[in-house]
Chains A and B, each alone.
Chain A
Amino acid sequence: MEADLATRDVTVAAIGDTSAQLSLRDPDVRLMIAVRDDVPGAFEELVEAYQHRLVGVMRHLIGNASEAEDLAQETFLRVYRARKKYRARCKFSTWLFTIANNLALNWLRGRQRKPTVSLPAHDSGPLGPRPAEQLVVARDGSPSGGLRREELADAVRRAVDGLNERQRMAVVLNKFEDMNYAEIAEVMGLTTKAVKSLLNRARTNLREALQGYAG
């Protein structure tokens, strides 16, 4: 009995240490703990800090700007709703993208069940092309340069859309979130080996789909 208690104390201490170490290493863990403790302004700060990454990932995953914003918002709402249960067991971004992964996969599966009209890859939402996109076209200086870029964007969008949901998620996390295989595995609930295999198939498919453009 005493041995059990001692073991439990050691475990609790270890979890506490991990949590403390994580909050020292990861400032976003500290921010999330402030959200959990209802510190005024903490949630707003969290949204400000992660909205660009989250909307970007969602956009790459589902290809539609307004749906991507809705899903990113829903992810933040889930974070807020689950804040009281938050325990710092991993990097905050890993936890956030795990929630985002679940939402996005559900959305993508739901979309497969109903027909939709997909927007072109260069769609930038209701306000038209953003200044950064216009700059890229202007830098080239020729209409054909802009056309080439749009054509490429469309081809890449189609290639990404051709991947299955899990391959797409792994590619987006690897390419745009710079996550390594172990982090992707944690977000997607897979083994590292499975992620390696997933990315192998995904990148092989991308290479084949983009063969004519990658010259």
Chain B
Amino acid sequence: MTQEPRLSDDDRAELIAYLDGELDEAAARAMEARLGRDAAARAEADALRRAWDLLDFLPHAEPSPSFTHRTLERVTARHAAAATGMSRRRRWGAAAGWAAGLAAAAAAGFAAVTLLVPREPTDDDLVRDLRVLENKRLYEQVDSVEFLKALDQPDLFGDDNPEAGG
């Protein structure tokens, strides 16, 4: 029996996979052959197996007798809380919808009043339009600004002016 070098990390991973029954048939046979000829590998396998078996000493935990009952109670409580939360969210959603609708209506009303209802002129408006106001009576006699401009042509009455002859 020959003493092979200490197991490498990969060899140990392969050995553990063998112990766990995870190797395919060919790899398992190769590992068995190695274990047959390598005392160090055998010792390693034994130590790994014994340490693994010691995990059986961990206390086995059993759920308390009321576990199912308490779990179902918690499910019911959460279900009810979720349903309440959802109906509250729905109520808040409806209220928010109404509030948004009212705000939009108020804004539309304000805009309509501002744009459509005539307002009293301010002092600034009167100063700006003073000349127009002073000639208001004259402007009311003509139909359009174009007509007034035409009257202002210097040659409009030139040829027919009786005083212009000579």
Q: Which residues of chain A have a CB within 8 Å of any CB of chain B?
A: 43-44, 47-48, 51-52, 55-56, 58-60, 65, 68-69, 72-73, 76-77, 80-81, 121-125, 130, 132-133, 149, 152-153, 155-157, 159-160, 171, 174-176, 180-181, 196-197, 199-200, 203-204, 206-207, 209-211, 213-215
**B62:A52 contact, CB within 8 angstroms:** yes
Nearest residue in A to B72 (C-beta to C-beta)?
A: A44
Question: Counting CB contacts under 8 A, is B22 at the interface?
Answer: yes
A-B contacts, CB under 8 A, total? 120
Nearest residue in A to B73 (C-beta to C-beta)?
A: A73
B6-34 with Cβ < 8 A to chain A: 9, 12-13, 16-17, 20-22
Nearest residue in A to B77 (C-beta to C-beta)?
A: A77
Task: Using known A-B contacts A44-B68, A149-B57, determine if residue A80 contacts B75 with beta carbons closer than 8 Å.
Answer: yes
- Selecting from B43-51, B100-108, B151-159, the interface stretch reads B43-51
**A56:B68 contact, CB within 8 angstroms:** no
Q: Main SS of chain B's interface residues?
A: helix
Q: Which 5 A-B pairs have the closest CB atoms?
A: A59-B61, A214-B50, A200-B13, A207-B51, A55-B63
**B68:A152 contact, CB within 8 angstroms:** no
Shortest distance from the beta carbon of A128 to any chain B beta carbon, whole Å:
12
Q: Main SS of chain A's interface residues?
A: helix
CB-CB < 8 A to A156: which residues of B? 54-55, 57-58
Nearest residue in B to A171 (C-beta to C-beta)?
A: B55
CB-CB < 8 A to A213: which residues of B? 54
Bound CA span A171–B63, Å? 21
Bound CA span A132–B52, Å? 22
Partner of A152, one of B57, B63, B71: B57
Bound CA span A133–B48, Å? 26
